[in-house]
Structures are given as structure tokens and as C-alpha cells.
Structure 1
Amino acid sequence: MTTTEEPALQFPLVRECPFSPPAEYRQIREEAPVTKVRTPEGKQMWVVTRHEDVRQVLNDRRFSANRFHPDFPVLVEGGNALRNRPESERSMIAMDAPEHGPARRAVLGEFTVRRMEQLRPRIQQIVDELIDNLLAGPRPADLVEALSLPVPSLVICELLGVPYADHEFFQEHTSRLIKRTTSAEGRREAFETVRAYMGDLLAKKEAEPTDDLLGRQIVKLREEGTYRRDALVSLGFLLLVAGHETTANMISLGTLALIENPEQAAAVKADPGRTLDAVEEMLRYFTIVDAATARLCVEDVEIGGVTIRAGEGVLAVGLAANRDPEAFPDPDEFDIERGGRHHVAFGFGPHQCLGQNLARMELQIVFDTLLRRIPDLKLAVPVDELPFKDDASIYGLYRLPVTW
């Protein structure tokens, strides 16, 4: 990946305001929507910023998701240390066709709308119990600790069959993984620790398969003669990390959006039928994983009038795409009436987020319950004193002090 002109910008960029993308996103999208930038390692890659172009990249098989390839763009310093691992450890997020389809279909049935609806009563119970504890506790309270983190952590633990007693352990290590400031050695250590934990857990389930996602996968794959522990470790690792970090941060940011937009919060409270529309707008507006859709071009492709050559890295910038005025009129306005379900907060194409049905339902239940049970929820500190995750690959809040 070489060029005769050194790009001026280095990615990833940091948000200066929780409610706005980096200013450079708009400039790039308007002036050079497909342009080259520098990675933290000093290499070069393309960034794609228009909604239409981002969807094209994510849905085109000529852009590989294989993070094990030596030319795959790395967006955190030292991130390349994790790709020098056996290919047998690849999870579906790093697979291309034809391997990706069967791997995804093997677990897709666990995340259908129907199966997720079966979880609704239990998720509602979890949310109600946590809000009971919140209301009984001192004020102000940290909503991240009291609600945002425990809801998705409890849900994903029960779904996978991971003991919730271990949640502090895996949260500590996964938070190190997603911090851009973590050293290469620290990132490798956290990665190895969580994988070893998942391997030990699967060894126990192999002896006595449990009625949960991991246990059912063991039984199913054994019957098919395709069971490999390292492959299921990779799947469990992916679901555990993605299943709590993303939803936890969306609960925090979504709650902040409702507090800062009381008229829209009142509209949702008056008509819970609007909650899912509000959730879609929160997902679009914040796009917390805007730098996760990196790809490697494996065949020359023209995107937005620019030719990207085989062997060059590409980043499809979801946050820039979700603020594209060509796709979303007045994109910087938070508007629950928008109906913008064509956002790319969950990605697009064959790698679109597997757990999006679960995430939407968790968010719907949390916001409906919060608005009903604590209608006067408010910030306990000014917005500019909130600790946002400017140093993390998944945007969010470290703490959200609230009172009522």
C-alpha cells in the first residue's frame, strides 16, 4: 500500500463532541469522499465516507474481511500482533466466502426475531430488578454501573452459558482490548486471557453440554462431525465481547439523548410504539463502532469514481455515512420521527451484525422501562463533565451520574 503523496490525516479520528462526528468527516465527505489517510502504524489506507459508497464496500466480495492477511489495515497501534495466529482461530468476522456463509448460518438460528422474543420476559425481569436496586440506592447514581453494563452482561451470559459471577473478569479484559491506548503487549495478554477463559469453559461444556448457545452448538456440530473447540472459542469470544460492550454503551448514550431531548422523550413515553423508532435514531446518531468496518481490497474496484487497487486497505466509516445528508436530511439533528432504518450502525451486507435483533430488543425494553419508572431522570453533572470514551474503539461513557 504505497503512494507518492503522503496523506495528511491519521486515522482513527477522535470525536470532539459526543453529539457530533469529527469535523474532518464532513470535509472529507464533501471534498474527497474516497481518500487516503495514514494508519497508526504509518501505513496508508483508503477511507470511504458517503452512505452509498460505504454500503457498496460492505456488500462487495472484492473487499475482504480477513484480518489475518498481512496487508489488512490495522487501526490500533500493535493490533497486528493479534493476526499472527493460526487461521483455525478465525471467527466469522474475519471470514470471507465461501467459509463465512456456513459459519454464520450455523449460529444464525440463535438470533432470529422469534428466539429473541422468547427472551423478552427474562430481559424485562432483569431490567426491572436492576431499576428496583437503582431506586433503592443512593442518589446520584452511576447509570453505567447500575444499568448500562449489567443488562447486556447478564443477557449475553445467560444466552451463551457464561457464569455471570465472572462478568467483572471478562469486562476488565475486554475493556483493555478496545482501548486504543492499550499497549501491544497488553492487548495480546487480554486477548489470550479471554480466549483461555472461553477454552476452559467449553472444555466443561463438552463433558456435559448445557442448554445454552455454546452447549447447543457443541451438540449440533458434533452430530455434523464438524466440531472444533478453537472455532467455537472464537465464536464465543466474539459474541461475549460484542454482546455487552456495544449495547452497554448504547444504553448510556441513548439515555443521555433522551435526557437532552425532553420533548422527544415525552413523545416516546406517551406512545411506546415510537420506542423502536427512537432506538434506530440513537443507533444512527451515535454510530458507536464507526471504525470497525475495515476491509482489504483483493481486486481492483472503482468506488465513488476512485479506483482502489488490490492489496490496499479500506475503512468504510459508518459514522460519516450515517451523517450523510444525501441519505439523511438534516443528519446532525436527533429526530425520533426520522425513520432512518437504512443506517449502517450494524454494518451492511454479509457481515451485518448477527445480534442486532437482540440489541434492538434490549434497548427497547430498557428505554420503555426507564421512561415509565423514572420519568424525571436527569443528569447529576453538566454534559461537559461526563467522561466519554474518546480513547476506545467503541464509543460510549465510562460513567453517567444521574438523579431523579
Structure 2
Amino acid sequence: MNTKEIIELGDKYLMRNYGRIPLVPVKGEGVRMWDADGREYLDFVSGIAVNALGHSPLAVVEAVSEQVKKMIHCSNLYYIENQVLLAKLLVENSCMDKAFFCNSGAEANEAALKLARKYAKIKHNQEKVEIVTALNSFHGRTLFTITATGQPKYQKGFEPLPGGIKYVPYNDLQALQEAVGPSTCAVLLEPVQGEGGVHAASAGYLKGAKALCEEYGALLIFDEVQTGLARTGRLFAYEHFGVEPDIITLAKALGGGFPIGAMLAKEEAAVFQPGDHASTFGGNPLACAAALAALEEIIDGGIVRYVNDIGAILYNKLVELSSKYDFVKEVRGRGLLLGMELSIEGKDIVSACQEKGLLINCVGGNVLRFVPPLIVDSTEVKKAVEILDQVMSDIDSKL
């Protein structure tokens, strides 16, 4: 089928819960993607930071191909070899001690919030239930995680929401100090807010959050669903700040394109007992085979160091570009999680870039987000920025 036919069928049979762009991807390789009509694109969205090793990375393809011949799924009632090996690899390369596997970032955050409340009841008291999160955060689409998300637009229409959530401005330590107290069981923060506009935390803010959690016996949870696994130039973003959380959540890059999520916890916090929490498909042999291959490639393939180098090239080119246009306010971020804040809406720029063969996206209405595969090279960066320059020049001439 061609693009038009697929879109017509989609409009007829799919729910309208996505504001879908009229694009039908059918093939991907590395940083490039092709649509149903054969058009080629540079993909600087990468499945929203999912395709960290590019489209169809060979290591993941081979691992999945081999595993699918052996076993696709079995129950978590049993020990699963790939799951055990993946847990070992994650623990040995982080500050964590235990792992729980699920299917998405939302599920990982849901598990983390449940674990925090369970921990508080076991270690402290029944009234210690409050969770503090940041305004403009994003933590998922379950009822609990949209409540933890500090953006009312995601919560509208789903009331009544679960109780016990407090919101504070991001990077405002005084506000956090005023919010955290004896009733707090957890503080949930993103080291870099992705959906919230690509805002990085300050080291002092996260260190302050850690001190408050220690003072009041609360758990510090870092949502690294978007920042984790080399995206920011470290394997985990917490490494930038000299702060070890009690719980980390992961997804996106973990499976190299295959759906999997994980919650990692310190030994002290890992209080789940049989029956407390579960996931039918979480950590199945196929998902863990994909994740093992992806994670080994990230760790052993020099990806972390490479992201620092190529991320600096992209950042500098975006800063240079921004100096040409008055409607660009700031370029910010870390590694290959970068944002360009505009004084105008960004949707027309996104659409025009697509027409010229570059895929980017816009968050918050006016922040262009760049999350290309971590294997993007300097030639692809140069081409992407050239396309963006052409589009911005056209926009500027009309202002």
C-alpha cells in the first residue's frame, strides 16, 4: 500500500489518541528511514530516543532472530536466563543492586512509585505516602504516572486522580525543601526533563534532593527513561551530578528498538515480596535478548565516549545556527539530548524539515528537540543542520 491508502485505513480503524503526522515509515537503517512512497529521511527523533543504536542494529537483529527460534515467551513464575543476565549487566554497570523488568517507561515508573510506598509502610509508617515531583515533568500515561507528571494537560479528563502527589518548580531547591517532610515517601525527578523542554538539573539541586530524602527517610527516584544508557554522554545521567538515587527507571534505549522497561533499586529499597508487583510480559526471553545485545553494544562499543564527541559537534552547530536568527532563544541539553527554544511556535519548522527529509520534533510548543541515534556521524549532523538552516531562513523571511 502507498502512504495515502495506509493513512485512510488508519483514520478509519485506529483510535484518534495520537495527533499523527502524515508519514508512513516502512524501513529503517542506521540514522535513515524510508516511507511507504520511498522517500528517505534523516531520523533525529529515533522513535523518541528509543532507537539508540539506529534502526535495525545488526547486534539486536541477530539476537532477536536467534532467540525467536528458541523461545519467545514464558512466565515469570520461572527463572529466565536472559533476564538474569540482563539484570546482572545493569547492576554491575550502575550503583543499583536489584532489577525488575516490565514493558515500558510508564510501567517502570509505576513500579517505582509502588515500591516507594511499600518501602515507607514497611520501614516507617502507614501515613508516609506523599510523593514529590517536578512541574513540567513527564513520567508516563498510566493513571498513577500521569498524576506524577507535573503537566495538567495530560491529566485533563481522567479525574479523579490518585492522591498524595505534590508538585514543585524544577531546579528550585527552596521549593523542594518546603515540600519534602515527614510524610514524604519519595521524590521523583528527571536528571534532564525531556518532554518538559530539555531542561537539565543543576548538580546542587539533585544533591539537595538527596540530602532531603536522607533527612526524612524518603527514597530518591531518578526517571532515566529518556536520559539513560548513554543519551547524555554518560551511561546513566546521574553520573553527571555525583548523586546516587535509590531507584532508577529505564526503558526507551534499553531494548535497541524492542519494547522493554526496567526499574533498578538499591538493596535497602528492594522490598517487594512475591505477589506485591508483577508483569506478565516483563522481562520475557525475547525482550531481554534484544536488551542484552543493545546494552552490550552501548557499554563495549565506545558509545558513551562517542556521544560526548558527536554531541558537542551537534550542540556547537546548533549554537552557531541560533546566532543567525532572532527567534532562537537558547540551545541547551547534554550529549545527544538537545533542545532549541524558540520565541515562536515550532510546528511549522518541524513540518518544513520533514518536507526536506529531516525528522525532528517539538515539545512544549516552542522547543525543537534533537534525539538522533547515538551512532549519528558528523556528515549526518552537518546535513541535518543545513536543512534546519534552510527552513529557518524561509521562516525568518516571513516574520
* Fold shared, TM-score > 0.5 on shorter chain: no
Larger fraction in strand = 2
Structure-1-length-normalised TM-score: 0.25
Structure-2-length-normalised TM-score: 0.25
Larger fraction in helix = 1
